Amino acid sequence: MPVAYAYSEELIEYADKLPSNKGRASRVNALIESFGLMDKFDGIIRVKPCTQADLEKYHDKNFIKFLLTGDDGLDAESETEGEESDESYEGKDEPVSKEALYGLHYDCPPFDGLEKYVKLVAGATLQCADYLVSLLDTDIAQNTSKVAINWTGGRHHAKRAACSGFCYVNDINLGIQRLRTKFDKVLYVDLDLHHGDGVETAFAYSDKVKSVSVHRYERGFFPGTGGMNTTSRSVVNIPTKYGLSDKSFIQIFDTIIVAEKEDFQPDAVVVTTGCDGLARDELREWNLSFSSFEYIIDQIVNSWKLPTLLLGGGGYHTLDTARCLAICTAAALNVPDRKQWVEIPMHDYFNEYVKDNYSLRVESHVRHNTPDENSEEYLKKLADYFEHRR
Ligand code: TV7
Ligand code: CA
Ligand code: ZN
């Protein structure tokens, strides 16, 4: 069961600088190491930065130039509303800053090391895709799992010419494009709490990429897209309400997501494993434990057995995200003794786990007093809607 893991000291060093997830990459990686999983991988993908040209395969050239250097080389006038005549703005037109134009503010501020960060994170996903592309047809035909993992990837909100929602470049779209050089049909599954709008937009008109996102959906909830009726042939949006439980998440997977996969018959799969739906996440929206992620990753990897690219995503309780992704890694590797793991092994960040008595399994921390607003009737309504569409 070949499972490859994207890693380099540089990747972890720079991924750690992401303002929304400072220090997360090193904690995730160190926990995976501490469970002895490094020796179980079929290969370690030694991640190197990708090139500017690689990023331009999906992104706008001027946007990338600005992101990497702080200057897009264009005359500011041509990007403000300067195209229209001045009179139409009655003399009070505010020039739009380049930062605002490219979304490089608020949720996505520039930071030290940004250029290296985007080249490494996108490079990691591209190298993972290359690993799957270079599998021999005889390997692919084998009845075994075939996986590449980049837990620093999964930047699903980034657009062709703009950063959005903590995402600077869309490594997922680059990875899907690369996979498509060998695999005809690619299924994208987005388990992050938020709607995978950047991936949906990129492939909305392609019959070869089907994008399935389950997410929190409510007026005012970021990014605001992904309603059920925005579903089309290659886009499946599964909107959910507050307090989603493991039982409901698994039910959505077993009914809707599995059926959409059967219908599409993909040749490869890409998964965004955002952990911001966990019960103790800062965002406090869904109410999930690690066990639903473990179950879903195990099903996708070890039951579907298609070439699979596993990516990260959100996750704002750093130590629970590390726990969850370590368990998902063990599930992908099909490590049977993971069921017996109860304690955090001694490692560099061991002391940070003191609050939970150094325990791994903190499943009991689901919010027991929080109702799952996704009622049986609501889940039935969703399942019926998608079934009738197929
Ligand atoms: C994939 N929610 C990314 C999810 C991106 C969510 C948002 C914040 C947030 C930003 C902060 C901050 C925050 C505690 C939470 C409408 C706004 C409101 C910026 C201040 N604390 C992923 C993006 C989402 C920034 N954005 O899917 C600095 O929460 O709701 C919004 C947009 C306008 C901009 N302002 C927030 O998980 C990786 N942001 C603290 C400091
Ligand atoms: Ca999602
Ligand atoms: Zn998210």
Q: Which pTM was predicted?
A: 0.96
The one-letter code for the residue type at 77 is E
The predicted structure's pLDDT at residue 94? 74
Backbone angles phi, psi at 346, to 5 degrees: -60, 125
Burial (CB < 10 A; 0-12, 13-18, 19+), residue 9, is exposed
294 Cβ closer than 6 Å to some ligand 1 atom: no
Quick one: pLDDT at residue 5? 98
User: 194 in ligand 1 pocket by Cβ < 6 Å?
Assistant: yes
pLDDT, tens digit, 9 for 90 and up, residues 316-362: 999 999 999 999 999 999 999 999 999 999 999 999 999 999 999 99
Domains of the chain: 3-48+111-389 (3.40.800.20)
CA of 107 to the centre of ligand 1 (A): 5
Asked if residue 226 has pLDDT above 90, the reply is: yes
CB of 153 shorter than 6 A to ligand 1: no
Residue among 128, 130, 124, 71 at smallest CA distance from 101: 71
Supply the pLDDT for residue 76: 72
Segment 170-193, tens digit of pLDDT:
999 999 999 999 999 999 999 999
Active site residue 157: yes
| Least confident interval from 73-82, 122-131, 298-307 | 73-82
- pLDDT value at 84 more than 50: no
Burial 140-168 (b: 16+ CB within 10 A, else e): beeeebbbbbbbbbbbbbbbebbbbbbbb
Beta bridge partners of 209: 186
> 53 falls in which pLDDT band (50, 70, 90)?
very high
Other Cβ atoms closer than 10 A to 250: 16
Ligand nearest to the CA of 190: 2
Q: What distances in angstroms separate CA 12 from CA 70, 270, 305, one per listed residue?
A: 24, 21, 28
Q: Which of 124-128, 219-223, 363-367 has the lowest mean pLDDT?
A: 363-367
Q: What is the pLDDT of residue 82?
A: 44
> Percentage of the chain surpassing pLDDT 70?
95
Residue 85 has pLDDT above 60, yes or no: no
Tell me what the mean pLDDT of segment 148-177 comes to.
99
> What residue owns the CA closest to ligand 1's atom 2?
222
Q: What is the mean pLDDT of residues 230-254?
A: 97
Q: What is the mean pLDDT of residues 41-51?
A: 98
How confident is the prediction for the chain on average, in pLDDT?
Answer: 95
Which ligand places an atom closest to the C-alpha of 166? Answer: 1
The catalytic residue among 59, 156, 157, 317 is 157
Confidence band of 83 (pLDDT split at 50, 70, 90): very low
pLDDT band for position 78 (cuts 50, 70, 90): low
The pLDDT assigned to 164 comes to 99
Band of residue 273 on the pLDDT scale cut at 50, 70, 90: very high
pLDDT at 1: 64
